[in-house]
Structures are given as C-alpha cells and as structure tokens.
Amino acid sequence: EVSLISPSEWELMRVVWTEGPSKAKTLVENMSKKSQWSESTTKTLLRRLVSKGILTTKSVEGQRGFLYTPTVAEKEAMRDQAVQLFNSMCAMKRGSVLIELIERMQMTRGDLDNLTKVIENKRETAPETIDCDCLPGECDEHEGAAH
C-alpha cells in the first residue's frame, strides 16, 4: 500500500511516471516549466517521495546525482490512494460519496459501459444495508444505525 501522496507530490510523480527513471536535473527542469517550481521545491519533494518509499534512488556510474525511479505504477498508486481515502470514511457514507464523484467526473462511454457491468455484477451480492463503522457517538448523523 502506497503512503499518502500530497497534491504537489502527485504533480511530480506524474512527470516521473511519464518520463520514466530520471535524474534530478531533468525533473527540476520539467517542473520549472510545468509549475514554475524552484529547484529546491522539486528536490524537497523528491526527498519526501524517497522517504515514503515511492521513489528509489540509484547512482549512475561515472555521473553525478541519482536516477529517481518509481517503486509503484501510477494506476496502482491511484487505486491505493482512493482505497485509503474511502477506508477513512464512515462505511455508510462511502456509496453516496462515490455516486457524487461519478456524477461530477467526465467519463468515456466505454468507462460508463464498464462501470455499468461492475455495478450489475456487484448488485447480485450487495447487502440491503451497511453497518456504520464509526465509534459510538462519533457519527450522530445516523442514530439507530448498527454501531
């Protein structure tokens, strides 16, 4: 499971995922063009991403600096972030939040066809209700729900 990534770290990681293993100099140049970031901002974010285990560094023989390489694929990181976010929510509210996101999100017809299939399959085993997983008194919005 990927550590939570801040919005700025996501911006930098999207460049790393696009470019592949990169030297700091290349990433600094790309981020300065894309977001007008200073060299120190990009290098700080690189250090944070290495400490979170999302990037690794490797020396390149005969060259100064490191090659930064992602330890996780972009799609996997996106999924892990979403799962962590939804797991932190009250179980009873996750469905309504997901519905709102789908309503707001631009999606292709293919995405919607796939989503429809997933929903139809999921409907077959879906329970009528979901128990609240909040601590007693933490979630007064649904009094009477199973705690």
pLDDT one-digit tens code per residue, 76-128: 999 999 998 998 889 989 999 999 999 999 999 999 999 999 999 999 999 99
Is residue 27 domain-shared with residue 66, that is, in the same domain? yes
Q: Which pLDDT score is estimated for 2?
A: 67
Provide the residue range defining the domain that includes 14: 7-70
83 is a domain residue = no
In a domain, 81, yes or no: no
| Judgement on whether residues 102 and 47 belong to the same structural domain of the protein | no
In this structure, the answer to whether residues 64 and 112 fall within a common structural domain is: no
Looking at the structure, tell me whether residues 106 and 65 fall in a common domain: no
What are the DSSP calls for 41-107, one per residue?
A: HHHHHHHHHHHTTSEEEEE-TTSSSEEEEESS-HHHHHHHHHHHHHHTS-TTTHHHHHHHHHHHS--
Confidence (pTM): 0.75
- How many domains does the structure of the chain reveal? 2
Backbone angles phi, psi at 119, to 5 degrees: -65, -45
39 in any annotated domain: yes
Whichever domain contains 59, its CATH number is 1.10.10.10
Least confident of 25-29, 47-51, 86-90: 86-90
Write out pLDDT tens, residues 5-25. 999 999 999 999 999 999 999
Averaged pLDDT for residues 53-80: 90
| In a shared domain, residues 12 and 58 | yes
| Cβ 138 vs Cβ 93: under 8 Å | no
Q: Is 86 a domain residue? A: no
Residue 103 lies in a domain: yes
